Copies of this chain bind each other. A is one copy, B any other.
Amino acid sequence: MSQRAAHTAVPEHCASELLQRVGVAETDMMGVVHHGSYIAYFERGRLEYMRRRALPYKALVERGFHLPVVELNVRYKKPACFDDLLCVETRVAALTRVTVRFDYRVRRPRTEPGAEPAQDLLLEAHVVLACIDARGKPRPLPADAVRALLSPEGPPEAHS
């Protein structure tokens, strides 16, 4: 049986977008966003992904399920600057019994007067999370969490 077969099929609707305004603290002396600053954007992206599916990560933690990052991969294509309004797309790309893979694309809308709307793709990334218990042992994701991760998003909160 193939590795692929162990994965749950992931529907196209398993994506959420978070807008993220770049502050000064995230930039570096090159005048662009420091490559390490995106890690926090990715984290916010997946926390929001879960919240919009009525699966706040905090509730999982309180039930004894923890989701540390075990793999991180980023391909940087174009730099972002202070005050840019970035669109962080978070997508569930793969699910196994004890892991979730999120794929990211960070884009910046381009707005030239009189032109068609377009977007610069700034980076692509993915992270793999492992589900563990409070002592660090692998623990299968609960069925309701799998259902929530595979569902379409509900309405965003007024403020998140």
Contact = CB atoms under 8 A, between A and B. Distances in A.
Contacts of A31: 29
Interface residues of A, number: 42
Contact of A24 (B21, B28, B82, B159): B28
A155 interface: no
A72 B35 contact: yes
B75 A30 contact: no
A126 to B, nearest CB: 10
- State the main secondary structure of chain A at its contact with B: mixed
Contacts of A34: 24-25
A70 interface: yes
Given A23-B40, A36-B40, A40-B25, A30 B68 contact: yes
Interface of A: 19, 21, 23-25, 27-32, 34-36, 39-40, 43-44, 47, 56-58, 61, 66, 68-77, 79, 81-83, 85, 136, 159-160
